[in-house]
């Protein structure tokens, strides 16, 4: 049986309808070939001597924001310009809310696959969708993960559309997935609103400008389950990509695996208990005219697990949204002309998804080409 799994191609994997977790439940010891990445893609590309390099993702403490707002804005400006990533601590989201959403995500993914498959759908109007083969049209090879998406704004999934996923609750005090999603998403909107204010100030603009541009208009939650991998050196949890969002807030557990490309090196985003990882998305790079950077990142597979992550994307995704985005005029000058043409989010997202996770930013297709003088 293990040998047949090892030779498994994409059609055979899809036919199992059990996702990556189903392979682990089958106690495979050999990674199916559909998950194999070229060795060059998997390279960590880390320097032998890091003594002269700062390869630590910035950590920003919001605990004293009322007294140190200017200092925090300066740190965010530096991180958004030079890293595209930073971690936030003391952000105001209670620890029990963070733990509840992680546990709820895990419980759903550990339900029987017959239960989870009830939420599989190709209907773009569905607000909660489980994908055990999310990469079929986006990535080849496939990534070592199962996922579900839940839409929060502008047209949120109703409570009835979100599964309870409480069949394995250990105590009456534990939260089910439905309650956890509803609570956590409210806190994410609050943290997001503050971050957009601080980013606006970091641009030297009015603190409400990004909010007035409807950067907070859309939000969806993508919740990943990365089972332990028998041969993690052959695959990736998520392949190299940038995010099709204005901003992404990520909650990760303590296992690790997230890496960001910084100065041509893959840098680990080391888990910090209670922290939120923030990264700049493609839309933000476009409207800031590359003042802030949307950078490539990926997730390595692990022997440990399962790893749980909850990524919240400020984007309306493919849902109708006629707002046209272009570089903010206050940031432009004769010396710094617009580097991108305008776009709508559904238009950009459709192209982004069609292109797959190929390690190339879809933003390049929106660059304004200048003729050499």
> Each residue of 68-91: pLDDT tens digit?
999 999 999 999 999 999 999 999
Instruction: Report yes or no: 257 and 69 within 8 Å, Cβ to Cβ.
Output: no
pLDDT digits (tens, 9 = 90+) for 13-66: 655 678 999 999 999 999 999 999 999 889 887 766 666 678 999 999 999 999
Query: Among residues of the chain, what percentage have pLDDT more than 90?
Result: 75
CA 32 from chain centre, in angstroms, equals: 25
CA 221 from chain centre, in angstroms, equals: 9
Q: How far apart are CA 134 and CA 142, in angstroms?
A: 9
- pLDDT reading at 129 higher than 70: yes
Q: How far apart are CA 138 and CA 188, in angstroms?
A: 27
CA angle 27, 32, 38 (to 5 degrees): 135
Q: How far apart are CA 64 and CA 36, in angstroms?
A: 46
Instruction: Report yes or no: 218 and 316 within 8 Å, Cβ to Cβ.
Output: yes
Specify the pLDDT at position 15: 54
Place of tokens 């309650």: 179
Specify the pLDDT at position 192: 98
Specify the pLDDT at position 84: 98
């Amino acid at each position: 049986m293990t040998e047949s799994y090892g030779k498994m191609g994409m059609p055979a994997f899809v036919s199992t309808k059990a996702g990556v977790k189903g392979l682990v439940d089958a106690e495979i010891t050999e990674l199916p070939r559909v998950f194999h990445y070229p060795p060059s893609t998997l390279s960590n590309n880390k320097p032998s001597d890091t003594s002269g390099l700062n390869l630590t993702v910035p950590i920003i403490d919001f605990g004293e924001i009322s007294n140190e707002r200017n200092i925090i804005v300066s740190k965010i400006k530096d991180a958004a310009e030079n890293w595209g990533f930073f971690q936030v601590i003391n952000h105001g989201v209670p620890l029990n809310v963070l733990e509840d959403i992680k546990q709820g995500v895990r419980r759903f993914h550990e339900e029987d696959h017959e239960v989870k498959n009830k939420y599989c759908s190709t209907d773009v109007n569905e607000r909660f969708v489980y994908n055990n083969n999310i990469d079929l049209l986006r990535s080849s090879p496939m990534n070592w993960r199962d996922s579900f998406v839940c839409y929060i704004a502008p047209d949120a999934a109703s409570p009835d559309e979100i599964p309870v996923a409480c069949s394995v609750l250990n105590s009456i005090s534990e939260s089910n997935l439905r309650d956890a999603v509803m609570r956590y998403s409210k806190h994410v909107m609050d943290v997001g609103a503050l971050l957009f204010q601080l980013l606006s100030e970091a641009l030297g603009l009015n603190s409400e400008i990004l909010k007035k541009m409807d950067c907070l208009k859309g939000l969806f939650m993508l919740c990943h389950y990365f089972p332990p991998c028998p041969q993690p050196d052959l695959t990736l949890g998520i392949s190299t990509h940038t995010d099709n969002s204005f901003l992404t807030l990520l909650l990760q557990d303590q296992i690790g695996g997230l890496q960001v490309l910084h100065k041509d090196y893959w840098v680990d985003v080391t888990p910090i208990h209670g922290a939120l990882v923030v990264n700049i998305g493609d839309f933000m790079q476009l409207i800031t005219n590359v003042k802030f950077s949307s950078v490539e990142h990926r997730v390595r597979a692990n022997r440990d697990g399962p790893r749980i992550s909850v990524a919240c994307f400020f984007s309306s995704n493919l849902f109708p949204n006629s707002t046209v985005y272009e570089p903010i005029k206050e940031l432009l000058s004769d010396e710094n002309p617009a580097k991108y043409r305008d776009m709508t989010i559904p238009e950009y997202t459709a192209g982004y998804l069609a292109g797959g996770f190929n390690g190339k930013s879809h933003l390049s297709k929106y660059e304004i080409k200048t003729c050499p003088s």
